[in-house]
Amino acid sequence: MAQYRTHSCGELNAQHVGKSAKIAGWIHKKRDHGSLLFIDLRDHKGLTQCVIDKSDKNFKMLENLRVESVISLEGEVLKRTPETINKDLKTGEIELKIQNVEIHSSSEILPIQVAGDEKYPEDLRLKYRYIDLRREKLRNNILMRDQIIRFLRQKMWGLGFNELQTPILTASSPEGARDFLVPSRMHKGKFYALPQAPQQFKQLAMVAGFDKYFQIAPCFRDEDTRADRVLEFYQLDMEMAFATQEDVFAVANAVIPALFEAFKGKKTVEKNIPYIPFEEAMERYGSDKPDMRNPLEIFDTTQEFKDSSFTIFSNLIERGFVVKAIPAPKTSDRPRSFFDKLNSWAQDEGAKGLGYITFADGESKGPIAKNLDIDRILKIKAVGNLQDGDSVFFVCAPKKEAQEFAGKVRAKLGNELDLIDPNIFKFCWIVDYPLYEYDEENKKIDFSHNPFSMPRGGLEALNTKDPLDILADQYDLVCNGFELLSGAVRNHRPDIMYRAFEIAGYKKEVVEERFGGMLNAFKYGAPPHAGCAPGIDRMVMLLADEPNLREVILFPINQRGEDLMMGAPALPENIQLKELGLKIDIKKN
C-alpha cells in the first residue's frame, strides 16, 4: 500500500468494488446521519464519498475534524445502492467504507468556505487566495489557463517558431507606461527596469539571425489597475524576420481563432474577421477596440446641423465641432425616464447632455426636433437608415472627443437595449493607424501608438507628407471590445528612425542616448521584421467568461496594487537600504 494514496479522489468507480483503496485529500463536506458519518474527500482530480459507522474507533476523531483538514482514508470500495448513485460525480457509483484514518493536517476555522457558492469580498478572497483556489470555479479557470498556454506553445512550435527567453532585468524603455525599477547593489545609485514588454530584445533576436521567435513573456507596467489591466501580466510574444504585416496576420489568424474554437464551450466563434482602418473604426464605432457584437453604427450629421436653426450645434460647428449620431432602434415608445436617465449618465461622464430625436407615426419628437426644420430631420432619418419606432442620440464636440464619446454612447445603448449577444466571440483587425498625432497639451507632433513602427512609404513619406497623414503598419486584434493583440512592422533602418523621431521633436543625440542598444544593432545589418503580442490573461478571461483578470491569475494583487497575502509592497529593512546605498524620503501629505 502506498504511503499516502493508491488512487486519486476522482479515480474510483464500479470496477474497483470489493477492492481495498487509499485516497488522500481535503475534507470537502461532512454529513452526520447519527449512526453513519459521510465525508466527501476532495483532491486535485475530484471527489469521493466515504462513510464510517459510529461503532468504528475512528468515528469520533473524524467527527471532530473540521472541513478542509487534510487526511488519508483507507478502506473497501462499496457499490452504492441505485437510489443513492450520484450521476453528476465521476465517482458517483461507489463509496469508500473507512477502515483506517491518517491525519496529515487539521484545519482551523475557515475565513472563507470552500464548499458552496457564497460570495465573498475580493480583498478577503485575495488575502486567503490559497483557500479561494480550492473552490471549483476559480480552480477550473487556472487549469484552463494551463491548457490554453499548452495549446499556444504547440501551435507556435508547429508553425516553426523557436521559444527563446529574454531578460527580466533590463534598462528603462518608453513603452507607454511607467517602469518598475530595481536598485542595483553592485552599481549603487543605478537601477534596472522590469520589462514592460520584450520589445527591443525580440527585435535584437531578429538582428542576431533568428527567424521566428516566441515566448510566454512576463511583462510589468506600473499603471493604475482595472478589470482588464494588471501590473504584472503575460503575453504570447512573437516576432518574425523578413515578414510583412500580412505574414503576421497569417500566423495570428491561424492561432487565435483556433484557440477560441478549442476552448469556446457552448459559445460560437465568428469565422469572418473584418479588417477595419483606424479612422473608419473611430467614425463608425467611436473606438479602436469596437465590440462587433453591437450592431449599432455611428454616423455623421455635421452637415445636417450646419447653419441650422438649432443654434446650440450650429454655433459650435462654426468653431470646428462635429456632430455624431447614434441610433437607438425601437425606443421611441420608451418612457421619458429612459431618455432622462441617459442624459444624466452622459452628464456623469463629463458631457453637457445627450440630445435626441424620436420617430413615430410619421412624426419626430424630442428637444432637438422642436428646434430643427423638418427637411433636416428627414435627412438625418435617411442618412441613419432610421425607421418609425427608432430614436437617435447626438454628440457635438471636437472631432476626437465626439468620436470617443459617441463610442461610449454606442456601448451604453448596446447594453441598455440588450443588443449584445453574450454567446459569441467576434473579432476584428484594426489597421492603418496614424504614425503621429497632434499633442494639444504640448502643442507638438508626437507618436500616436508605437514609435518603433515602420511608416507607410518609408523615408519618402517622412520627407514629403504632412506628418498627420502618414500611416504606420500597426495593427490590433480585437475580440468583443477587448484588445487581444497589438503589433507592427518594425522600423529596422537607422536613417528612417532618426527622421521619424526628428519629426516628433527628438534630436539625433537623444535618440542615440535613449535607444542606442537597438539602434546600434541596426547599423550592422538588420532584416525587415514584424511581430505582435497577444495577451494571455485577457484571452483566458474571455474564454472563462470572467469579468476581470484577477479571476484567471493564480496569485493576483488587488486593484490598489497590493498583495494582501504576502504583504507587498513593503518597506525594506535598513540593512537592505544600506547595501543598496539608498535612503527613503517619504513625503507625508
* Confidence band of 500 (pLDDT split at 50, 70, 90): very high
pLDDT at 434 over 70: yes
User: Contact at 8 Å (CB) between 48 and 23?
Assistant: yes
First to last CA, the chain: 65
SS3 436: strand
pLDDT given for residue 172 in this prediction: 82
pLDDT given for residue 175 in this prediction: 56
Task: Give the number of other Cβ atoms within 10 Å of residue 513's Cβ.
Answer: 11
Of 43-52, 138-147, 434-443, least confident by mean pLDDT is: 434-443
Task: Give the number of other Cβ atoms within 10 Å of residue 75's Cβ.
Answer: 20
* Confidence band of 177 (pLDDT split at 50, 70, 90): confident
pLDDT given for residue 451 in this prediction: 87
User: Residue 35 has what DSSP assignment?
Assistant: S
Burial class for 87, CB neighbours closer than 10 Å (0-12, 13-18, 19+): exposed
Of 32-36, 64-68, 207-211, 456-460, least confident by mean pLDDT is: 32-36
pLDDT given for residue 86 in this prediction: 94
- HEC string for 75-144: EEEEECCHHHCCCCCCCCCEEEEEEEEEEEECCCCCCCCCCCCCCCCHHHHHHCHHHHCCCHHHHHHHHH
Mean pLDDT over 494-516 rounds to: 91
All three cell numbers of 493: 533602418
Dihedral angle at the C-alpha atoms of 142, 148, 149, 150, nearest 10 degrees?
110
The string of DSSP codes covering 252-290 is HHHHHHHHHHHH-TT-EE-----EEEHHHHHHHHSSSS-
Mean pLDDT over 413-428 rounds to: 97
Q: Which run of H or E residues covers position 383? A: helix 374-383
Q: In whole angstroms, what is the distance from residue 112 CA to residue 430 CA? A: 44
**CATH numbers and ranges of domains, the chain:** 14-105 (2.40.50.140), 138-273+427-575 (3.30.930.10), 294-420 (3.30.1360.30)
Sole residue written with cell 532584416: 527
Q: Which run of H or E residues covers position 376? A: helix 374-383
Q: In whole angstroms, what is the distance from residue 91 CA to residue 150 CA? A: 28
User: Contact at 8 Å (CB) between 255 and 155?
Assistant: yes
User: Residue 172 CA to chain centroid, in angstroms?
Assistant: 24
* Confidence band of 589 (pLDDT split at 50, 70, 90): low
Q: What is the overall mean pLDDT for the chain? A: 94
Top pLDDT among 47 and 439 is at 47
Sign of the dihedral defined by the CA atoms of residues 414, 416, 421, 427, in that order = positive
* 538 backbone dihedrals φ, ψ, rounded to 5°: -65, -40
H-assigned helices in 453-493: 458-464
List pLDDT tens digits, range 232-290. Answer: 999 999 999 999 999 999 999 999 999 999 999 999 999 999 999 999 999 999 999 99
pLDDT at 462 over 70: yes
Q: In whole angstroms, what is the distance from residue 250 CA to residue 194 CA? A: 31
Residues 6+ apart with CB under 8 A from 73: 22, 23, 24, 39, 41, 50, 96, 98, 100, 101, 102
pLDDT given for residue 440 in this prediction: 84
pLDDT given for residue 267 in this prediction: 97
* 402 backbone dihedrals φ, ψ, rounded to 5°: -65, -45
* Confidence band of 227 (pLDDT split at 50, 70, 90): confident
* 194 backbone dihedrals φ, ψ, rounded to 5°: -80, 140
Mean pLDDT over 296-313 rounds to: 96
List pLDDT tens digits, range 533-569. Answer: 999 999 999 999 999 999 999 999 999 999 999 999 9
Sign of the dihedral defined by the CA atoms of residues 437, 443, 445, 446, in that order = negative
Burial class for 8, CB neighbours closer than 10 Å (0-12, 13-18, 19+): middle
In a 13 Å sphere around the CA of 357, the CA atoms on its Cβ side amount to: 28
* Confidence band of 587 (pLDDT split at 50, 70, 90): confident
List pLDDT tens digits, range 106-157. Answer: 999 999 999 999 999 999 999 999 999 999 999 999 999 999 999 999 999 9
Q: Which run of H or E residues covers position 340? A: helix 336-348
Q: In whole angstroms, what is the distance from residue 320 CA to residue 445 CA? A: 20
All three cell numbers of 137: 470555479
Distances (CA, A) of 281 to 406, 407, 415, 428, 588: 12, 10, 19, 10, 45
All three cell numbers of 290: 469596437
pLDDT at 2 over 90: no
The string of DSSP codes covering 502-516 is HHTT--HHHHHHHHH
pLDDT given for residue 568 in this prediction: 93
pLDDT at 1 over 70: no
List pLDDT tens digits, range 181-196. Answer: 999 999 999 999 999 9
* Confidence band of 19 (pLDDT split at 50, 70, 90): very high
* Confidence band of 229 (pLDDT split at 50, 70, 90): confident
pLDDT at 495 over 60: yes
Of the candidates 110, 87, 96, 101, the one whose C-alpha atom is nearest the C-alpha of residue 4 is 101
All three cell numbers of 155: 501551435
Q: In whole angstroms, what is the distance from residue 178 CA to residue 231 CA? A: 10
User: Contact at 8 Å (CB) between 67 and 31?
Assistant: no
Q: In whole angstroms, what is the distance from residue 491 CA to residue 502 CA? A: 14
Q: In whole angstroms, what is the distance from residue 73 CA to residue 4 CA? A: 9
User: Contact at 8 Å (CB) between 526 and 207?
Assistant: yes
Of the candidates 239, 285, 282, the one whose C-alpha atom is nearest the C-alpha of residue 533 is 239
Largest CA distance in the chain: 94
∠ CA 434-440-445 to the nearest 5 degrees? 45
Query: What is the gyration radius of the CA atoms in the chain, in angstroms?
Result: 30
Give the residues across from 116 on adjacent strands. none
Give the residues across from 8 on adjacent strands. none
Amino acid sitting at position 481? G
User: Residue 6 has what DSSP assignment?
Assistant: S
Mean pLDDT over 519-528 rounds to: 95
